[in-house]
């Protein structure tokens, strides 16, 4: 009788632990954990770029490849967590090198700029999870397009004095921000193309993890 009661108690515990509410909670906790991992990975990738002087621009910005982890984070986890990855990285990056910049730079050059990249990945999350891998390149293009617009507006609004005698719109949108934004986008797309097969495998692993 004692064994029967013990088995019944164990079965009840299993049923309780397997309720939809608990499964949803575990899934959310996994997503939060992965979000933290993607923020850390993005910051580490950015540090690698910061120590290559030839890639850096004189008044901020650089050709870099940390955008790939923000795009992938959004594609894997959706728009909300993708945006959080971009915003979290943007804030950390500002603390690292933005202390002497205009306060507006925090929003246009960091939070908005990188938040858009994570968000663009998240927008195409459903398509990517249906193994439409080409959306990686579309998400990358849109994300970096929005980053370019955000950082260029920052130059026009907050750093117009650096344009000198040049037209501030031409200087900020074309001469200064376009080269490194386009270079970073090309770097992310190139890495994504080269790592096509590993990224397919990684997607399957993330799906299993989030079940």
Q: What is the mean pLDDT of the chain?
A: 86
* Range of the structural domain that residue 190 is part of: 2-209
Question: Does the pLDDT at position 98 exceed 90?
Answer: no
So what's the pLDDT on residue 103?
83
So what's the pLDDT on residue 65?
87
Residue with tokens 């970073």: 184
So what's the pLDDT on residue 87?
97
Question: Does the pLDDT at position 27 exceed 80?
Answer: yes
Please tell me which residue, 27 or 98, carries the higher pLDDT value.
27
List beta partners, residue 62.
56
For the residues 79-99, what does the mean pLDDT come to? 90
Distance between CA atoms of residues 181 and 159, nearest Å? 18
Instruction: Report the CATH number that the domain containing residue 50 is assigned in CATH.
Output: 1.10.1760.20
Domain count for the chain, please give it. 1
Task: Quick: pLDDT tens for 169-205.
Answer: 999 999 999 999 999 999 999 999 999 888 888 888 8
Which of these ranges, 5-9, 141-145, 187-191, has the smallest mean pLDDT? Answer: 5-9
Question: Does the pLDDT at position 107 exceed 70?
Answer: yes
Which of these ranges, 4-8, 30-34, 123-127, 174-178, has the smallest mean pLDDT? Answer: 4-8
Question: Does the pLDDT at position 17 exceed 60?
Answer: no
So what's the pLDDT on residue 8?
47
From 139, 150, 146, select the one nearest 69 (Cα to Cα): 139
Task: Identify the band that residue 122 occupies on the pLDDT scale cut at 50, 70 and 90.
Answer: very high
């Amino acid at each position: 009788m004692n064994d029967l009661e013990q088995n019944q108690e164990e079965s009840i515990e299993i049923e309780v632990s397997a309720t939809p509410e608990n499964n949803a909670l575990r899934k959310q906790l996994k997503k939060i954990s992965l979000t933290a991992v993607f923020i850390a990975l993005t910051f580490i990738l950015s540090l690698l770029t910061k120590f290559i002087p030839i890639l850096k621009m004189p008044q901020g910005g650089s050709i870099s490849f940390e955008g790939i982890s923000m795009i992938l984070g959004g594609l894997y986890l959706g728009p909300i967590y993708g945006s959080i990855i971009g915003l979290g990285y943007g804030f950390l990056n500002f603390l690292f090198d933005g202390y002497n910049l205009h306060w507006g730079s925090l929003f246009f050059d960091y939070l908005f700029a990188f938040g858009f990249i994570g968000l663009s990945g998240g927008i195409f999350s459903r398509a990517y999870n249906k193994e439409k891998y080409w959306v990686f390149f579309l998400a990358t293009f849109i994300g970096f397009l929005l980053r370019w617009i955000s950082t260029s507006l920052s130059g026009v609004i907050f750093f117009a004095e650096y344009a000198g005698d040049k037209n501030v719109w031409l200087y900020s949108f074309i001469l200064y921000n376009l080269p490194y934004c386009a270079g970073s986008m090309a770097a992310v797309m190139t890495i994504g193309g080269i790592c096509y097969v590993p990224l397919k495998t990684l997607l399957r692993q993330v799906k299993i993890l989030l079940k």
